[in-house]
Amino acid sequence: MISNLIGRLFCWLRDAICRGLVRTGVRPNHLSILGMLLTMGAGVEIALGRGHWQTWALGLMFGAGACDILDGRLAKMGGLETRFGGILDSVCDRMSDAALFFGMAIYYITTPDAAPGTAHPNMTLVLLALVGFVWAYLISYIKARAEAAGVPAGGGFWQRPERCVTIFLGVGFLHLPTVLWILGLWPITTVLHRFWRVRRSCKALEAGQAREAVEAMQPRGLAAPFLWRWARGTWQFDIQAGATVLMLIFWDLPPIDPLRDLVARLLG
């Protein structure tokens, strides 16, 4: 699979960098905090406007992504894993998610979609940004709560790396409305999928069927063809990832505001 080949090259490069960081004494917590600060800066640059997206916003997001990739591996390779480090990393990830989604929301609040004097914030895209943040939070929260209860969790397409790459490409190609429609609507599939899997796993564990709890995590039966259920390294995942990338590159959605039009009709 294409994602497997990319993954092997990526892991080789990541491990080489981590070995150098171990020798220099860099700590995983340093990278977690630095990544959060860089992402906050990227959120500010997104909010400031399109003139900042392909320069500062992309550069800061690239640096933040590198920190996010390296901190966990550095902790393992250097024997630096701690309970607090895991908590700190999760907190930094949630803060980073908030910075990016709030940055997009602020941009469409402060950048009108019409001529001066008749312009209004884009209610639809602002709402999609806030809903996208809710999905991002729930995807991580379901996994955290399930693992705390001793239930297998995780999976689904729209995990944090996929969301970050989506925003990165959308910002790079100046297709932010496309990003918001994707992240405002599509990730609910991962939220529902995780709920469904956790429910099955909980029922199996409560019945004393540990093996069935693990098997409940695997796509099977009539629901197996759904592409959003499959893990990285499968052809189903590659199809969804490829389709998302193509949309972000070639699908330049206009910043339409159907929510404002609907509210106007209801109030008019």
Whether residue 18 is predicted with pLDDT greater than 90 in this model: the reply is: no
The pLDDT tens digits for 189-198 are 889 888 888 8
Q: Which residues contact 1 (CB under 8 A, 6 or more apart)?
A: 233, 234, 235, 237, 238
Q: How many CB atoms lie within 10 A of CB 92?
A: 24
**Contact yes or no for 257/113 (Cβ under 8 A):** yes
- Tell me: pLDDT of 7 over 60: yes
Q: What is the mean pLDDT of the chain?
A: 85
Q: Where are the domains of the chain?
A: 1-111, 112-268
HSE toward the beta carbon, residue 63, CA cutoff 13 A? 16
- Residue 220 is predicted with a pLDDT of 58
Catalytic positions, written as ranges: 93
Residue 211 dihedral angles phi and psi, to the nearest 5°: -65, -45
Alpha carbons 103 and 88: distance in angstroms, whole number:
22
Query: What's the alpha-carbon Rg for the chain, to the nearest Å?
Result: 20
The CATH class, in words, for 112-268 is mainly alpha
What pLDDT score was predicted for residue 39? 97
143 or 43: whose pLDDT is higher? 43
Looking at residue 195, its pLDDT comes to 86
DSSP line for the chain: -HHHHHHHHHHHHHHHHHHHHHHHT--HHHHHHHHHHHHHHHHHHHHH-GGGIIIIIHHHHHHHHHHHHHHHHHHHHTT---HHHHHHHHHHHHHHHHHHHHHHHHHHHHS-SSSTTT----HHHHHHHHHHHHHHHHHHHHHHHHHHTT-----SS--HHHHHHHHHHHHHTT-HHHHHHHHHHTTHHHHHHHHHHHHHHHHHHHTT-HHHHHHTTS--GGGTT-GGGPPTTSHHHHHHHHHHHHHHHH-------HHHHHHHHHH-
Mean pLDDT of 79-108: 93
Q: Please answer whether residues 16 and 69 qualify as being in contact, where contact means their C-beta atoms are separated by less than 8 angstroms.
A: no
Q: What is the pLDDT of residues 204-255, one digit of tens each?
A: 777 776 555 555 455 555 555 555 566 777 777 888 889 999 999 999 999 8
Please name the fold of domain 1-111.
Answer: Four Helix Bundle (Hemerythrin (Met), subunit A) (1.20.120)
CA–CA separation, 166 and 249 (whole Å): 10
- How much is the average pLDDT of 23-28? 85
Is there a common fold for 1-111 and 112-268? yes
